[in-house]
Amino acid sequence: MQHVPADMALIFPPSFVWGVATSAFQIEGAAVEDGKGSSIWDTFCRQPGAIADDSDGDIACDHYHRWQEDLDLIASLGVNAYRFSVSWPRVRPTGEGAWNEKGLDFYERLVDGLQARGIKPYLTLNHWDLPEQLQSKGGWANRDTAQRFVEYALRMDARLGDRVQAITTHNEPWVISVLGHKRGVFAPGLKDRAVAMQVSHHLLLSHGLALHALREQGCKSELGIVLNLAPMHPATDSADDQSKAVLEDGLLLRWYMDPLFKGHYPVDVLEHLGADAPRVQSGDLEIISTPMDFLGINYYSRSVVSSVGTWDVHTSGREVTDMGWEVYPEGLTELLLRIHNDYPVPPMYVTENGGAFKDHLVDGGVNDPLRKDYIARHIDAVSAAIRQGVCMAGYMVWSLLDNFEWASGYEKRFGIVHVDYATQKRTLKDSALWYRSFLQHQAALRQQRPVTLPRTAHSEWNTVAIGDSA
């Protein structure tokens, strides 16, 4: 089914940023080239059974060598932003010793290449590939890692900050903490709840410390963090399901949003954690709640929780992606409105949104109507939030390319561009062609008529947008 959102230009501010996203470990390859150090994901991939198809990131999409072709692809889509991450061990192999000029040069070429093509660079510092050497000293469970992170942030700003639109400190701290340290299904593969919670605290602390240090250095980029969030729905109306949903919401959303925007951890979650709650030093929460310039949200689906077992995703009758995730676009509107109402947030970006589906390359093309439909419906959901007064700054599709999908290896394809891993040939899928024509349509509509955003009681954003288009 083809779904073309109607009159989308009417409700997106002229300054709205449209992008595509990737991360270093998932696309770069060149795992030991030009002095790159090892990351915890390089190590994790070597653990038997850790990755579904026994693969690793050694070659991935070979982006380290094909970056120019990939930047041309991005430009051909008509987006004006590219969200990528820096591999920390590529620029500082041990995380604490000498810097690797060849690694820094790579990101310099990338950023310059983006600028030359008129695309704004959105740089993420930590998209999970911590230098292995730091892990051997405790990794994120060690408070010192926060200081190493600050040094890394300052170095990247000194080198690239004048050309980078935005710097994200961490991508999805919940995933690092819970999947990496409690469930052990992601690097570094630990299973210890107390460690996981300490890790989450050190991630947040290092975020706040980095913001302070970057601003002191005169950083000109927008600064923020990216969280993976979802509405948490009880499976039934039973009191048990409802209280479970409140707790799970506390663990996923309030555990991060409360300290970042209210300066404290949620009391109900602290009580639930008991002795596993993190050690917090005085002053930490003031640092963590340092104001940000933007908040990034990665959204894929809602969560449904049951107090008696696992909720079967098929019971809702909705489509399910190849990851087994329910397609639930209205959850994005619900989530954005809830955040807007509950927290004093800066402008928000959807920094990741997209779907894994089974693709088939036929006659040089990939017909992927489910992905196209997924993206279109979520863009609609963002516009619905804007119409209700939420300050949204941009939307980025996950992902530009099919790539290494962490523990799922190369079996799951999220790209709007197909990658043939044997030849590294890139092919625009129909979803990419749709995104391109949607963006052209947007641009054309903006030329034709002024943007008429509704005036809402609490939205300066809309006033700015109306002013911009006048």
Concerning whether 69 is annotated as a catalytic residue, the answer is no
CB 421 to ligand FCB: min, Å: 17
Q: Cβ closer to ligand FCB: 255 or 406?
A: 406
Q: Any contact of residue 175 with ligand FCB (CB under 6 A)?
A: yes
CB 8 to ligand FCB: min, Å: 24
Q: Cβ closer to ligand FCB: 222 or 322?
A: 322
CB 14 to ligand FCB: min, Å: 28
Choices 171-179, 215-223, 274-282, 428-436 (CB under 6 A): range interacting with ligand FCB:
171-179
Choices 93-101, 168-176, 377-385, 423-431 (CB under 6 A): range interacting with ligand FCB:
168-176
What is the number of alpha carbons within 13 Å of residue 346 lying toward its C-beta?
16
Q: Cβ closer to ligand FCB: 178 or 392?
A: 178
Tell me which of 28, 222, 334, 352 is the catalytic residue.
Answer: 352
Alpha-carbon torsion, ordered 453, 457, 458, 462, to 10 deg: 20
What is the number of alpha carbons within 13 Å of residue 30 lying toward its C-beta?
19
Q: Cβ closer to ligand FCB: 84 or 414?
A: 414
* One-character DSSP codes across 249-313: HIIIIIHHHHHHHHSS--HHHHHHHGGGSPP--TTHHHHHT---SEEEEE----EEE-SSS---G
**Distance from C-alpha of 178 to C-alpha of 286, rounded to nearest angstrom:** 24
**Distance from C-alpha of 429 to C-alpha of 444, rounded to nearest angstrom:** 23
The structure tokens listed for 233 are 């729905």
Tell me which of 172, 248, 334, 405 is the catalytic residue.
Answer: 172
CB 352 to ligand FCB: min, Å: 6
The answer to whether the CB of 1 falls within 8 A of the CB of 377 is no
**Distance from C-alpha of 68 to C-alpha of 75, rounded to nearest angstrom:** 11
* Contacts of ligand FCB in 97-156 (CB under 6 A): none
If binding means CB under 6 A, how many residues of this protein chain bind ligand FCB?
12
8-state DSSP, 75: H
Q: Cβ closer to ligand FCB: 11 or 24?
A: 24
* Contacts of ligand FCB in 287-316 (CB under 6 A): 298
**Distance from C-alpha of 415 to C-alpha of 354, rounded to nearest angstrom:** 8
Residue from 100, 168, 228, 383 in contact with ligand FCB (CB under 6 A): 228
What is the number of alpha carbons within 13 Å of residue 158 lying toward its C-beta?
11
Q: Any contact of residue 352 with ligand FCB (CB under 6 A)?
A: yes
Residue from 28, 129, 132, 172 in contact with ligand FCB (CB under 6 A): 172
**Distance from C-alpha of 156 to C-alpha of 148, rounded to nearest angstrom:** 13
Residue from 186, 261, 398, 438 in contact with ligand FCB (CB under 6 A): 398
Q: Cβ closer to ligand FCB: 62 or 405?
A: 405
Pairing state between β 222-228 and 166-171: parallel
Pairing state between β 365-366 and 361-362: antiparallel
8-state DSSP, 179: I
CB 247 to ligand FCB: min, Å: 22
* Helical H segments across 306-368, by residue range: 330-342
CB 232 to ligand FCB: min, Å: 17
Concerning whether 319 is annotated as a catalytic residue, the answer is no
Q: Cβ closer to ligand FCB: 159 or 182?
A: 182
**Distance from C-alpha of 260 to C-alpha of 264, rounded to nearest angstrom:** 8
Q: Any contact of residue 351 with ligand FCB (CB under 6 A)?
A: no
Q: Cβ closer to ligand FCB: 348 or 453?
A: 348
From the centroid of its chain, how far is CA 164? 17
Q: Which x/- pattern over 9-48 shows residues binding ligand FCB (rule: CB under 6 A)?
A: --------------x--x----------------------
Active site residues: 172, 352
Q: Which residues bind ligand FCB (CB under 6 A)?
A: 23, 26, 171-172, 175, 228, 298, 352, 398, 405-406, 414
